[in-house]
Structure 1
Amino acid sequence: MKISSKEFLTVSNLLSLLRLLLAIPLWLLFDNYFTDSSVKYWLFALCLFAAVTDILDGYLARKFNQVTEAGKIIDPIADKVAMAVVVIRLAMYNELPLYYLLMIIIRDMLIFLGGIYVTSKIGKVLPSNILGKATVLIVGIVLLLTLLQIEKSSFLYTSLFYFSIFMIIISFLAYVYRAVEYLKRKTIV
């Protein structure tokens, strides 16, 4: 699979690259998570900005018929890296349990490695699906609520937290099922 520079340089792909680069200030801002109360709001704002760019890049790619193989690679990597930074740092400060961090990281690594394998076999990148996007949304909401230090014993937080765990598991199983189906057919519809 060859990706041309013209395919790479679309507005939607540049938004994904911007989201990928946001991982750096996100990581650095966490250094002052407990010493500067405004940091939590900056982190919240950057995470919200990342979510908006994620929605916008997909919308623009479809609207202007610029869905590219490069974009199918960059977009999920940017999502996974930005989310991993936030989850790792929150877990480092005991704001999230270690098992939650491991579930997210292991799921994303297995999907990434599985995606490489499937791409090598069928010659195209599997596009994201709605279940995966919904999982990212729910986990993102949990992370935003955690950043805002919403009471973890509240019904809202607890419900979303456990629902996100359910979605992490279900979306992973759905990715595995879909990958197996594509490998059986060796084509993407």
Structure 2
Amino acid sequence: MRPQLKIITVSNIISFIRLLIAFPLLFLFKDNNTFNSYRILIVFLLIIAFITDVMDGYLARKRGEVTEFGKIIDPVADKVLVFVIVFSLFLLHELPNYLFWVILLRDLLILIGGIIFSLKLKKVLPSNLIGKITVFIIGFLLMTIILGIDKELWVYKYLIYLSILFSIISVLAYLIRAIEAIKWSKNESDKITEFYKN
């Protein structure tokens, strides 16, 4: 099904709601006292964000509302939300420095790659399963930190290793998909050119 140009759809509105959740989080993470006082509220907002993340993609496919704008707003909402949380936890010294940079570099590389891809093909490369799994793992790790998990537990260390591993895999997977899409587009263009020559 060809992506639609329509912007205002139910799925896109749900993605936009997830994007808006980032704003109250900025206040809730403003200092250690506020953060410690509102940990449960933060977790509640993250659960809502997770639900919207599941719903928007499902509804877009179910209702036939897959749009180019939706392919943009969905990952942007994910990245903005994750960045706000990661950066805030980094400033509060709740997140290891190296993990902050891994997550930041992952999002920057995918963002730059997405811009290059869009400029080249005039299309948006949508999120894939590996990307969604990566965001889920990172989100789950952030959730455990917000809930105050003991950082000496093996679960915490396992989630950090898993977050780093999937961050690397997701960037490589995105790069491979982009290269394959560009090659496919070029082959199709060559076939059309050859057809009209004959």
Give the TM-score normalised by the residue count of structure 2. 0.88
1:107-186 to 2 correspondences below 5 Å: 107-186=106-185
Alignment-mate amino acid for residue 158 of structure 1: K
The answer (yes or no) to whether the contact 1:151–1:157 under 8 Å persists in 2 is yes
Task: Indicate the SS of the match to 1:149.
Answer: coil
Aligned length: 183
Match of 1:86 in 2: 85
Match of 1:51 in 2: 50
**Structure 1 residue 67 corresponds to structure 2 residue 66:** yes
Match of 2:96 in 1: 97
Q: State the shift of 1:106 in Å.
A: 1.4
Deviation string 1:135-186 (CA, Å, 9 cap, x unpaired) is: 0000000000000011111111111111111000111111111111111222
1:13-52 to 2 correspondences below 5 Å: 13-35=12-34, 37-52=36-51
Q: State the shift of 1:38 in Å.
A: 3.5
Deviation string 1:31-61 (CA, Å, 9 cap, x unpaired) is: 2543464411111111111111110111111
In 1, distance between residues paired with 2:36 and 2:71?
37
In 1, distance between residues paired with 2:94 and 2:132?
24
In 1, distance between residues paired with 2:84 and 2:20?
11
Deviation string 1:52-72 (CA, Å, 9 cap, x unpaired) is: 111011111111111111000
Residues 173 and 28 (structure 1), Cα distance of their counterparts in 2 relative to 1, 3 Å cut: same
Q: State the shift of 1:27 in Å.
A: 0.7
Residues 83 and 14 (structure 1), Cα distance of their counterparts in 2 relative to 1, 3 Å cut: same
* RMSD over equivalenced CA pairs, Å: 1.5
Give the TM-score normalised by the residue count of structure 1. 0.92
**Percent of aligned positions with the same letter in both sequences?**
47
**Higher mean Cα deviation, 79-88 or 103-112?**
103-112
Deviation string 1:5-52 (CA, Å, 9 cap, x unpaired) is: xx1100110111111111110111112543464411111111111111
Q: Which has the larger radius of gyration?
A: 2
In 2, distance between residues paired with 1:184 and 1:36?
48
The answer (yes or no) to whether the contact 2:28–2:34 under 8 Å persists in 1 is no
In 2, distance between residues paired with 1:36 and 1:139?
19
